Structure 1
């Protein structure tokens, strides 16, 4: 007991306790700063909190931050271990017993009081603690910066020997947002529709007009040479307010008919349809290339105050129609009004999967079923099957690609009219009999 109360030993105990507190500080700082929300720090920075500015600066140089904290933490832990060994040597004499006791005691003290306890506290309120430790950690990182730079050079050199590129980053800001949204969706904090809308905003910059247009196969068009009665009948059957006008050949588009113009003309004629002249009613057609980006087309719609454009390929052939509504639906989902027909093209099955029209867009199917079918090489689900199989499938054929099974249900000429799609864990197969 007298040896324990010796002033030299008491001094050692005091220094060891201080070092354990310092170790706990480094551990809690590392956890709180790495777990701090960049969004909340940015908001606090805009509100004038200088500590948030320091946190943001530290997070922008994460390697330097972690290097400084780890260097400081290792220094105090090693020094505490050495002093504890000296203390137990003074108490129990030189020998293996002192080393064993010092190892056991320091392992428990560091594990409980310098690692688990401070990190548990830090992870419970990382933003608050990050603001508290910002200034002292910034000072420590500045002091250790030269040593950390040398260590980092050695580490990067060793990693490069094994082919590891420390500068490469596969994740973008959009990927991080998507990951966070998906996580909150699983936890119930975000609704699926909200997730889809956020995805739509993030992905719209990757789309071209051809990805969201209405294909010419599904267009309602009016022959300018048709009699007035047939024109009115076709307009009413279409349910659209704007329709392309063509002269005999559908590739020869001569204008666009707006239903408002048609109604005004009919009112002036007082029911006498013989005087209806579609050439006078035709508005100038606006043609855009199929490779135009959706964002650029949206801005063009806003600038020209138009809602409707005709899409053509590099040879000038009509490919389809793009409307302002089509672009907005990529963000907010399907927009249905009182004149829209409820034709989704996706029929869910109780046993799983769905029966899908061949012309349904892959993006729409992914949203409806919460699937992850690739849409890099094809726009429609039929196009995906044809691209992957490198053939025009026959009715009854089935394929397995990307973790999904595709069974052809109906085909007309060379077009897949409908197919059954379901998730599967089978390996990719070119064809099943």
Structure 2
């Protein structure tokens, strides 16, 4: 009986250690590495200690679990011994199990982990230094445990030593942005700008290019007066010039070069040589990513590129402004028009032209339609439907209902898109 008080105090101390290990595990795994790095750069030694600990998460978790299991098992063994001595004729083991389960669950698991989740950074910096001592002391044992675990998993074909992160840093940031946007901490514009910058490596120029059907081009063999008139009436400063065939682009005429030439010729159009004014066309393959093209624009000091496929056929064009708009949204000048072809209806649906790109529609409506297999909304319907649908046909996929409103030959020109949740 005289050993009950000392044993109780030892069990109480072991439960405190268990709470320390549980809270440390939650705080150190939930803390933001980016915030810790920022605080370390600002001179916080505690944040530096946290960063050193979480740099090897496997060893850290191994030491925490080892310590936690040691103190919990020891506390349970002492409690069982104490209750057996208190109830020699009764089920002391049962009493010990019930009491220790409640104590460990409430005070050594739920309470410290709840506190750690509420303030992960503060608690992580608080426990970092003592936890470094624990990790160092348990290092030999955890090394053996790691070897046993890896060897066991390897027999089942899982080599964790070679396993890369399933989620890239870019995906982690995107997920955090979406989460904070849903919680109201980041507005849509800021989220779209950051996501746009992160996605430049994932988007190819063919996904944002102006299709060749929409390109304003001029035949270089036209009379000079007609070319000048067309340039003056155009909303664009650069116009491709073709010869013999519209796929045969021989140059790009800049309005500023034309005006300089007219001024030098004292407005005498007969002295203007269009071919000598045209810049050499700049061609890029359709598989070029936006990040690659942005770097190329900066390197070559170009703002305008023509997109060709693997056979050299003209597909479209992309400008520096098009790439920047993928980051900051639409940049409208006095000649630009807002996004065309998207018409919200009173019933919550959207009437949309088939040529509208999925990315533009997602950005305008804050939707998440996939754009991996198709560029335009009409292309998405054709891909999912595995056919060229007739007017009036309705499809439902990706949480939306798509009704074909108009069709010209084999081209879907208008759709009605309705979110199914409405």
Query: TM exceeds 0.5?
Result: yes
Shift of 1:359: 1.7
Shift of 1:347: 1.6
| CA deviation string 1:330-350 (max 9, x = no partner) | 111111111212342222222
| In structure 2, distance between residues paired with 1:421 and 1:238 | 33
| In structure 2, distance between residues paired with 1:160 and 1:351 | 57
What is the SS of the residue equivalent to 2:305? strand
Asked whether 1:129 is paired with 2:123, we answer yes
Counterpart residue number, 1:23: 18
From 223, 246, 268, the equivalent of 1:227 is: 223
Asked whether 1:334 is paired with 2:325, we answer no
What is the SS of the residue equivalent to 2:318? strand
| CA deviation string 1:125-171 (max 9, x = no partner) | 21122122112212222333343344445555666777777536431
Distance 1:11 1:343, change over 3 A: closer
| In structure 2, distance between residues paired with 1:403 and 1:93 | 63
From 127, 139, 156, the equivalent of 2:133 is: 139
What is the SS of the residue equivalent to 2:279? coil
Counterpart residue number, 1:255: 251
| In structure 2, distance between residues paired with 1:17 and 1:360 | 67
Q: Give runs of aligned pairs for residues 46-61 of structure 1, distance below 5 A.
A: 46-61=41-56
Shift of 1:206: 1.4
Counterpart residue number, 2:6: 11
Shift of 1:41: 1.3
Shift of 1:94: 1.0
Distance 1:33 1:95, change over 3 A: farther
| CA deviation string 1:228-278 (max 9, x = no partner) | 443344334431111101124211212111111222233344444444432
From 34, 37, 40, the equivalent of 2:35 is: 40
Counterpart residue number, 2:241: 245
| In structure 2, distance between residues paired with 1:14 and 1:388 | 68
Counterpart residue number, 2:278: 282
Task: Specify every segment of 5 or more residues in structure 2 that has no aligned partner in the other structure, as ranges.
Answer: none
Between 1:302-311 and 1:273-282, the stretch displaced more is: 273-282
- What RMSD over aligned residues (CA atoms) do the two structures have, in Å? 2.5
Scaled by the length of structure 2, the TM-score of the pair is 0.91
Shift of 1:111: 2.8
| CA deviation string 1:357-399 (max 9, x = no partner) | 2222111111112222222222222222223333333322232
| CA deviation string 1:160-217 (max 9, x = no partner) | 7777775364311111111111110011011112111111111111122222221111
From 261, 264, 274, the equivalent of 1:265 is: 261
What is the SS of the residue equivalent to 1:359? coil
Task: Specify every segment of 5 or more residues in structure 1 that has no aligned partner in the other structure, as ranges.
Answer: 426-433
Shift of 1:39: 0.7
From 47, 53, 69, the equivalent of 2:64 is: 69
What is the SS of the residue equivalent to 1:188? coil
Counterpart residue number, 1:429: none
What is the SS of the residue equivalent to 2:201? helix
Distance 1:410 1:197, change over 3 A: same
Counterpart residue number, 2:412: 416
| In structure 1, distance between residues paired with 2:233 and 2:347 | 36
| In structure 2, distance between residues paired with 1:105 and 1:296 | 64
| In structure 1, distance between residues paired with 2:155 and 2:320 | 53
From 69, 76, 82, the equivalent of 2:77 is: 82
Between 1:193-202 and 1:265-274, the stretch displaced more is: 265-274
What is the SS of the residue equivalent to 1:265? helix
Asked whether 1:200 is paired with 2:196, we answer yes
Distance 1:121 1:393, change over 3 A: closer
Counterpart residue number, 2:305: 309
From 347, 360, 379, the equivalent of 1:351 is: 347
Between 1:33-42 and 1:351-360, the stretch displaced more is: 351-360
Counterpart residue number, 1:430: none
Distance 1:46 1:304, change over 3 A: same
Shift of 1:283: 1.7
| In structure 1, distance between residues paired with 2:55 and 2:419 | 41
Counterpart residue number, 1:369: 365
Counterpart residue number, 1:109: 103
Counterpart residue number, 1:431: none
What is the SS of the residue equivalent to 2:199? helix
From 399, 408, 413, the equivalent of 1:403 is: 399
| In structure 1, distance between residues paired with 2:310 and 2:378 | 23
Number of positions where the alignment pairs a residue of Structure 1 with one of Structure 2: 420
